[in-house]
Amino acid sequence: MKKTHFYIFSFLISLFTIGCEDLIVVDVPEGDTKLVVEALLYSTDSIHQITLSNSAPYFDKNQTPRISGALVYIMTNNGDSVGFRETGIGSGRYTANFKLEEGKTYFLNILTAQGRIYRSLGEKLLRVSPLELYQSDEILDSIQGFRPQGYYVSIRTVEPAGIGDFYRWIININGEQQLSPQYFWIADDRLVDGNVIEEFPQFFVYGMMPGDSVSILQTSISARAYNFWYLLQEQVFNSGGPFDTPPGSPEGNVISLSDPNEIVLGYFSVSNAREASITVRQK
C-alpha cells in the first residue's frame, strides 16, 4: 500500500506540473550517540557478519564511527554458543563461520570494550519457500519517475499455507544490492496465504536489458522483525507529501542490560533464505 501512496503522490504532483522539490539547509538538533547493531544472518551464508557502529550527527558526511574491540557471540536455545571475531582492527565488523538451523532460536550477546552488556531477544529460524525468477516477454515503455524502459524480472513462489509468514527480499542487479525505495520489498501473507505468487507488480524489477543479471534473496523474518522493517520502510518511502505517516524510530530487539533506558538501534535477525538468479535475454 505504501508504494501505491508513493506513486499516487508522484502522479498528482506530475499532473499539476507545478509541485517541486529543492534542496535546503536546515539546522537539526543533535541527539545522544546510540549503539547501532547490524546483525542480519541468513541461512544461505556460512560466514556471518555483524557490524557495530554509533549514530552520528545528521549532516555529518563521514562514515559513522565503528565500535571496535567488543566481545560478540551468539547463543542458541539449547545452550550452544558461537563467538565472532573482529576482522581488521577498528573495522567494527565481526565474523563467524557456522550454519543456521531451521527451528532453532538464537540470541545475540555483546560486551563492549567499555564493559557495557547488550543482549538481543530470541530470534527463531522460520520456514521459507524456494523461488524462481522469470523475465517478461516484452519490453515495457518507460514511465517517467516510475520505471525506465526495458524488460522486467519478477519472482514466482508458493506461499506456504498458514497465516504468519513474513518476508523480506534483497535484490541484486549486476552484483549490486539495490537500496532505492522501489526495491524495498517486505510483505506479510495475510491476503495471499497459501497461494502462488507471480506477476505481482509490487515485485517487478523494471528496466532490465539483455545481459543484465538479477539475483533475489527471499528471506523469512519474524513478526517482530517485520514490524521493524515496516517502520524503516515508512522512512524510505517518506516523500514529504500528504500521505506520509509521522516518523517513528524503529524499535529493535537488542537491549542494554547495563542501562534499561538506553535505546539501541538496529536489529538482530536470523532469516531462512533462498536465492534465485537470472540473466536477461533478448526476446
Q: Using the rule CB under 8 A, which residue among 53, 219, 220, 271 binds other proteins?
A: 53
Encoded one letter per residue, x for contact with other proteins by CB under 8 A and - for no contact, window 240-279 reads xxxxxxxxxxxx-------------xxx------------
Q: Cβ closer to other proteins: 36 or 72?
A: 36
Contact 72, 120 (CB under 8 A): no
Report the residue from 20, 88, 89, 260 that binds other proteins according to the rule CB under 8 A: 20
Interface with other proteins, residue 179, by CB under 8 A: yes
Least Å from the CB of residue 144 to other proteins: 4
* Residues 105-144 interacting with other proteins (rule: CB under 8 A): 140-141, 143-144
Q: Cβ closer to other proteins: 69 or 145?
A: 145
Choose between 12 and 101: whose C-beta lies nearer to other proteins: 12
CB nearer other proteins, residue 20 or residue 79: 20
Indicate the Cα dihedral angle 172, 173, 175, 179, nearest 10°.
-50
Helix (H) or strand (E) run with residue 3 in it = helix 2-16
Sign of CA dihedral 96, 101, 102, 107: negative
Tell me the three state secondary structure of residue 226: helix
Is residue 240 exposed (0-12), middle (13-18) or buried (19+ Cβ within 10 Å)? exposed
**Cα separation of 222 and 225, whole Å?**
5
246 secondary structure, DSSP code: P
Candidate list 30, 101, 132, 259; residue touching other proteins; CB under 8 A: 30
> In the numeric block, which cell numbers belong to residue 186?
517486505
CB closer to other proteins out of 101 and 190: 190
Cβ(93)–Cβ(22) below 8 Å: no
Stretch 187-246 residues interacting with other proteins (CB under 8 A): 190-201, 223-224, 227-228, 230-232, 234-236, 238-246
- Which range of residues in 7-15, 75-83, 93-101, 109-117 is near other proteins by CB under 8 A? 7-15
Pick from 220, 232, 160, 225: nearest CA to 193:
160
The DSSP annotation for 97-116 comes to E----TT-EEEEEEE-TT--
> Which region among 29-37, 75-83, 112-120, 127-135 touches other proteins (by CB under 8 A)?
29-37
Question: Residues in contact with other proteins, total (CB under 8 A)?
Answer: 89
